[in-house]
Structure 1
Amino acid sequence: MGIRDVFAVNLKRYRRAVGLSQEELAHRADIDRTYVSALERGRYAASIDVVDRLAAVLGTEAAELLRHIGQPANGDAHRVPGLPGKPKR
């Protein structure tokens, strides 16, 4: 699985976990809804600035959106079930 696919899977997973629609996520991150859809399908590669804005809206770090599922994260013992690498706060 390439990094674009990893990002697509994680973006969709985090968006659903926080209960946002593609439209609401796009609005909060100041990007177009169709771009969010394309990112979730792995059609486009996001710039690092867009990854950072999406992560901020989703309440995580940009690195978590790029982490392969199953890859250990710092503080692995404090992860939230169902979300790769998201620490409990």
Structure 2
Amino acid sequence: MSNPCQNGGECKAVGNAFHCACPTGLRGLICDVDVNECDQENCGNRGECVNTFGSFYCNCSDGYEDQLCNDQVPEDDTQVEF
């Protein structure tokens, strides 16, 4: 039996038909449609959401980091002496 599911989708037989269980970030009859996570996920602290096929990432504004821009970048406590 062939696997019509794409992008890592798991094919399940349903009578004479099939159903694809799609990985997170994908949908569609054969898992070939990208979910726009930027419609669902909000990057924190004015970060910009960028959708990619099957995923997303955030371009964080200055002073923030991590996947959703929620962690504040620690200030450098090092002092330079002249």
Which TM-score band applies after superposition, normalised by the shorter structure? Answer: under 0.3
- Please say which structure displays the higher CA radius of gyration: 2
Relative contact order (alpha carbons < 8 A, sep ≥ 6): 1 or 2 greater?
A: 1
Q: Quick check: which one's helix share is greater?
A: 1
How does the TM-score come out when normalised to structure 2?
0.26
How does the TM-score come out when normalised to structure 1?
0.25
